[in-house]
Structure 1
């Protein structure tokens, strides 16, 4: 087996191990309370609606590849592999991730934020 195949397998195995102990976005909450609910769950996709009033966040969790849409924006403190930063998130902003990712967020703004998370299966 080629060395780079072995390296790829090891890296994939490590990323799976780091997410095995973390909840997914539906399971994760904030201080014992759920922040996401299922709007649709089919064979092809799961759609979550996540709501964050001011001073409410989302405990550290992982995401499978997904697409996101901001129904209502606010300002968030985000902690991930690159560190902690504060960013304004405007209504109507979209994003997508093609890899497994993990983070923790906190709404530090003064308005309630609402997101749709669309996860292909």
Structure 2
């Protein structure tokens, strides 16, 4: 296990506290932000022909989407819309990873930005405090 500097340790503790104190909607927003970050890294890695880095970051995005799918409460009609969206994104991520296709990564990143932005608006409409949005 690597030894962290005092600054790194403080930042890691801050991130952990931020996650542990977040509400459900805020955690969902963090997941969307994480997926976008990993897609950005994957896109850059594909451009630089870093196949392993692209693969790892697409897989991280796939895991986030899988988690989001598993947390859907299907008793609400809107959950089916999210399921359809996440299912499409999952299929496209597999295709992007198999072919290391930057265009698909860019497409999915666009969808994730739109989903994230809509989620922020839903949070605001429901008076959920949105930090750093």
The answer to whether TM tops 0.5 is: no
Tell me which protein shows more strand as a share of its residues: 1
- Give the TM-score band, short-chain normalised: under 0.3
Q: State the TM-score, normalizing by the size of structure 2.
A: 0.25
**Which is higher, the Rg of structure 1 or of structure 2?**
2
